[in-house]
Amino acid sequence: MDKTTSYFQKIKFFLLDVLFPIHCLGCQAEDCWLCASCLKKIKLRDQQFCPHCEKIITPDGRSCFACKNKSPLAGLLVATSYQEPLVSKAVHLFKYRFLETLAEPLSQLSLKALRSYELPLPDLILPIPLHPRRLRWRGFNQSWLLAKNLAEKLLPGLDLALADNLLIRQRYTLPQMSLKNHTQRHQNVRDAFTVTDPAKIKAQRILLVDDITTTGSTIFECARILKEAGAKEVYAVVIAKRDHGKK
Ligand SMILES: [Zn+2]
Ligand SMILES: [Zn+2]
């Protein structure tokens, strides 16, 4: 998609959106991409697993007892299922049709999951960063939009700190989706990130925010870099997890 989506395709999408009225992906109601009642019907994932071994069911998606010490990630909360057709459709349009307005309803899913489970409250919320080149191409960082919504709404009346540019992507990487296996994905993101100001990370409990994860390589790598920079604990929340090998 990165290679083929051109400026002209963006214009084409824009014209399509102007010519054909916006309608809910679920019920066709007009003027929104995901209406409140369809959003409400999307079920949260009923079980959470250890993100490291992916076998053990754990409360809140925390790393299991056996993995706790070898995983830089203290927990990964997966809000809903990618098998839900509305979820996969909405995420796809959000990322590849550049529909920024979907950030709001999609972040509601992560928010609902964070409120239903009991992960400790973060000191800092960090989006998974995009490389500046990818950011120029897409026009927005989808993780940043989700993170911003979470920072504003997780605790009503109290904006949590959204740390912009504390974690950056220093190396341009191939889209993880274009890589087949776990090893390739892992190597692709290895040392791709860096912390710009370790003093601000030190002893902080961090919540990483991303849209979709597959093998978790990107999230694990970010967590590793953050822990190395002195973070106390790193958790992550995603809307859904896509099965390996599926698009
Ligand atoms: Zn609807
Ligand atoms: Zn485990």
Mean pLDDT by 10 residues, the chain (247 residues): 61 71 89 93 94 93 94 96 93 85 95 92 95 87 95 87 90 82 86 94 97 92 97 97 67
pLDDT at position 5: 57
pLDDT at position 146: 96
Nearest ligand to residue 58 Cα: 2
Q: Which two tokens stand for residue 234?
A: 């790193």
| 50 CA from centroid of ligand 2 (Å) | 5
pLDDT at position 14: 73
Nearest ligand to residue 25 Cα: 1
Order of all β-strands in the sheet with 233-241: 75-81, 233-241, 205-213, 124-127, 161-162
Q: What is Dmax (Cα atoms) for the chain?
A: 55
pLDDT at position 172: 85
| 172 CA from centroid of ligand 2 (Å) | 30
| 62 CA from centroid of ligand 2 (Å) | 8
| 51 CA from centroid of ligand 2 (Å) | 7
Query: In CATH, what number is assigned to the domain containing residue 174?
Result: 3.40.50
User: In this structure, is residue 68 part of a structural domain?
Assistant: yes
pLDDT at position 191: 86
Nearest ligand to residue 53 Cα: 2
User: In this structure, is residue 13 part of a structural domain?
Assistant: no
For 150, residues 6+ apart whose C-beta sits below 8 A from its C-beta are 107, 110, 111, 114, 125, 160, 207, 209, 237
| 236 CA from centroid of ligand 2 (Å) | 15
pLDDT at position 173: 85
Q: How many domains does the chain have?
A: 1
User: In this structure, is residue 59 part of a structural domain?
Assistant: yes
pLDDT at position 4: 52
User: In this structure, is residue 223 part of a structural domain?
Assistant: yes
| 64 CA from centroid of ligand 2 (Å) | 4
Domain with 212, as residue range(s), is 43-241
User: In this structure, is residue 16 part of a structural domain?
Assistant: no
pLDDT at position 174: 82
| 213 CA from centroid of ligand 1 (Å) | 25
Q: Where are the alpha helices (DSSP H) in the chain?
A: 7-19, 36-41, 85-96, 103-116, 132-138, 142-153, 182-189, 198-201, 217-228
User: In this structure, is residue 175 part of a structural domain?
Assistant: yes
DSSP secondary structure, 113-133, as one string: HHHHS-PPPPSEEEEPPPPHH
Cα 142 from Cα 125, distance rounded (Å): 14
pLDDT at position 160: 85
Q: pTM for this structure?
A: 0.90
pLDDT at position 37: 96
Q: Which of 212, 222, 219, 220 is nearest to 244 (CA)?
A: 212
User: In this structure, is residue 36 part of a structural domain?
Assistant: no
3-state DSSP: the chain helix, strand, coil percent, rounded to 5? 40, 15, 45
Nearest ligand to residue 27 Cα: 1
Residues whose CB is under 5 A from ligand 1 (ion)? 24, 26-27, 29, 35, 38
Q: Which of 208, 7, 228 is nearest to 122 (CA)?
A: 208
pLDDT at position 234: 98
User: In this structure, is residue 35 part of a structural domain?
Assistant: no
